[in-house]
Structure 1
Amino acid sequence: MHYASITDRLADLGSGKWALHIRARQMKETGLDIIELTIGEPDLPPDERLLAECQRAMLAGRYRYSSGRGEPAILAALAAKYAKRRADVTEENVLCFPGTQTALFCVMLGLVEAGDAVLVGDPLYATYDGVIQSTGAHRVTVPLRPQAGFHMQAADLEAAITPACRVLLLNTPHNPSGAVLNRTELAAIGDVCRRHNLWIVCDEVYEELVFKGSFASPFDNPELADRTVVVSSISKSHAAPGFRSGWAVGPVDFTRRILPLSETMLFGVQPFISDMTAYALTHDIETSRHMRASYGARASRIAEALAGAPGLRAHPPEAGMFILVDVSETGMTGEAFAWALLEEEGVAVMPGSSFGDKAASFLRLSLTVPDALIEEACLRIRALAMRCVSRRERRA
């Protein structure tokens, strides 16, 4: 039987990147002692007021068809949020989606097609390849160097540009590294994008989880207003990943062109979840402040616990829910070390290869587990590293 070419383009870009996480869950279900440090699922529940608002909305009948652009309350809340960052923003600049992933898929489908290219930093979030290749476009990577703190450099961006490039997919704060681009860096990147007539699609889901420095965005620069689109959600900021509530904010012409595509795919999101999101955006919710303090402290604890361990080098993040650890000096790739860590020590982490070629020597550890498990996991990681280095030295 015939299948569309998109199924071939995405054949190896789905759950295969999460194979170790899936295996760890299977092992855990058999009763094995597995510490999960794989996915970025907040360990705090959503604020009780959000759950109450969601329930109130459902009981009030807010479960019928919704507006394709977004419900009035959430559009107003998002317009107000982004108008604080750039005064020209109105509800016409906003589109609502069920989560950032859907927003990215729709936005990219509206901006590129076969023969086009999308620039993205490497390391990169695991689903970006699928989002890009679903359109028929291809990825062009910009190296994110550990010695630069994984901050994208304007010169590296310029050097990577080809005539096919149409979009820079930017992620700040960055997953998996936790790097946070500053205003000076963003201005230089924006200048490159202006000169090469590139869209900037900026994934900002970790905006509220910056624990070193301050958050900055190309969206806030009026000179980039005609080419910048922000995608985000309440998944990370409000510990509500399962509610799937996200958005895209960009130029009015962009939203007018993308809206029919969004309506063809989705025709709106659940009104009761939209009401909950509007509440989240218009009330003082403490969740992100608690997570900021907790995850920042856990990142420091991991860096300290692994300091001096043979073959390991932690790269403390500036934001987010993860920390990268370089294992190259153990003599193993990140993939090999991660699988050995699961099978020998019962600790599940993500191999860096799930996040691009430049992360192949790294592990990504989630910060979303209790402190006691973090400490135990570090002991087990050190134990494996010591064995690996010892074996390497004996072979030498």
Structure 2
Amino acid sequence: MRYASITDRLADLGSGRWALHATARRMKAEGQPIIELTIGEPDLPPHEDLLAECSRAMYAGRTRYSNGRGEPAVLKALIAKYSKRRPGVSEKNFLCFPGTQSALYAVMMGLAEAGDGVLVGDPLYATYEGVIASTGAHLIPVPLRPEHRFHMQAEDLERAVTPEARVLLLNTPHNPTGAVLTGQEIAAIGAICKKHDLWIVCDEVYEQLIFGDAFASPFDMPELAERTIVVSSISKSHAAPGFRSGWAAGPEEFCEKLLPVSETMLFGVQPFISDMTALALSRPFETAGIMRDNYSRRAEIVQKTLAGSNLLKPMMPEGGMFVVVDVTATGLGGADYAWELLRKEQVAVMPGSSFGHQAAGFIRISLTVPDDVLEEAVRRMANLAGRLAAMPAEERAHLGA
């Protein structure tokens, strides 16, 4: 039988990236005491008022079809949120989607196609490569270097641009590294995008989980307004990943052109979840603040627990819910170390290779477990690292994935 070419383009870009996570889940279901530090799933529930609103809306009959752009209450809330960042936005600057992932997929389908190139920092979130490949475009990696705290450098972007480049996909705060771009860095990056007439798609799902300085975005810069599209959701900010509620914000013309694409994909999001989203965006909730404090403190626990190790080197994040750790001094790459950690120490982390070539020597640790559990997991990581370093090289060669 024949299949569309997209199935071949995505053949190795789906669940295979999460094979270790899936294996850990199976082991846990079988009764093994796995410490799971793989995916970015907040360890807080959504605020009770949000759950109550979602339930109220369902019982009030908000279970019918929506429209392609989004429910009026959500659009009103988005206008209020983003007009604080850039005056003059209207409902014509927004499209609602079931989560950031579908928003990003639709946005990229509207910007790129076969023969085009999409620039993206490497390391990168694991689904980006598949989203780009879906369009027929090819990924153009821009190295994010540890010596620059994984912040994209304008000169690296300039060197990476090719005649086929059409889009720059940014992510700040960054997954997996936790890097947060400054306004000055974004302005320099934006100048390169203007020079080469590139769209900027900025994934800002961790916007409210910054540990230090204020959030900066190309969306807020007037000189970049005509070329910037933001994708985001309530998944991280309000600890509601399972509700799948997100949006795209961009130029009016872009949203008008993308609306038929969105309507062809799904024609609207769930009204009862939209009512919950409108409430989430319309008033302050303490959820993000609690998570910020928790994740910042837990990142420091990782750093403190590994302070005496010369084998595991954590890179302290500036936001988000992860820490990446350089494991190359153990004699193994990130993937082999992660699989060995799962088998020998019953700790599940993500191999850095799931996030691109630049992260191959790293693992990613999720900070979404209690402090004492995280500390125990990191001690086990250090114990494994010590055993690996003491092992003959020929023996290490047979370990891992």
Tell me the TM-score normalized by structure 1: 0.99
Aligned to 1:117: 117
Q: Which amino acid aligns with 1:251?
A: P
What do residues 11-41 of structure 1 show as CA deviations (whole Å, max 9, x unaligned)? 0100000000000011111111110000000
Cα offset, 1:269, TM superposition: 0.2
CA distance in 1, matches of 2:394, 2:256: 65
Q: Which amino acid aligns with 2:68?
A: G
Unpaired runs of at least 5, structure 2: 397-401
Contact (CA 8 Å) 2:331, 2:393: kept in 1 or not? no
What do residues 277-331 of structure 1 show as CA deviations (whole Å, max 9, x unaligned)? 0000001211000000000000011011012224110001000010000001111
Instruction: Say if 2:104 is the partner of 1:107.
Output: no
CA distance in 1, matches of 2:148, 2:184: 14
Aligned to 2:314: 314
Contact (CA 8 Å) 1:331, 1:392: kept in 2 or not? no
Aligned to 1:269: 269
Unpaired runs of at least 5, structure 1: none
What do residues 124-173 of structure 1 show as CA deviations (whole Å, max 9, x unaligned)? 00000000000000000000000000000000000000000000000000
Contact (CA 8 Å) 1:123, 1:144: kept in 2 or not? yes
- Report how many residues are paired: 396
Aligned to 1:187: 187
Contact (CA 8 Å) 1:341, 1:381: kept in 2 or not? yes
Instruction: Say if 2:290 is the partner of 1:290.
Output: yes
Cα offset, 1:335, TM superposition: 0.4
CA distance in 1, matches of 2:28, 2:243: 25
CA distance in 1, matches of 2:308, 2:176: 23
CA distance in 2, matches of 1:324, 1:226: 34
Q: Which amino acid aligns with 1:339?
A: W
Q: Which stretch of structure 1 is more off in the superposition, 386-395 or 232-241?
A: 386-395
Contact (CA 8 Å) 1:178, 1:319: kept in 2 or not? yes
Cα offset, 1:79, TM superposition: 1.1
CA distance in 2, matches of 1:333, 1:8: 28
Aligned to 1:304: 304
What's the secondary structure of 2:280's corresponding residue? helix
Aligned to 2:399: none
Contact (CA 8 Å) 1:310, 1:386: kept in 2 or not? no
- Percent identity (aligned): 67
- Post-superposition, which runs of at least 4 consecutive aligned residues in structure 1 deviate over 6 A? 393-396
Instruction: Say if 2:332 is the partner of 1:332.
Output: yes
Aligned to 1:17: 17
Contact (CA 8 Å) 2:122, 2:355: kept in 1 or not? yes
Aligned to 1:126: 126
Contact (CA 8 Å) 2:314, 2:326: kept in 1 or not? yes
Q: CA RMSD in A?
A: 1.1
Cα offset, 1:394, TM superposition: 10
Aligned to 1:347: 347
CA distance in 1, matches of 2:72, 2:394: 67
Q: Which amino acid aligns with 2:209?
A: L
Aligned to 1:33: 33
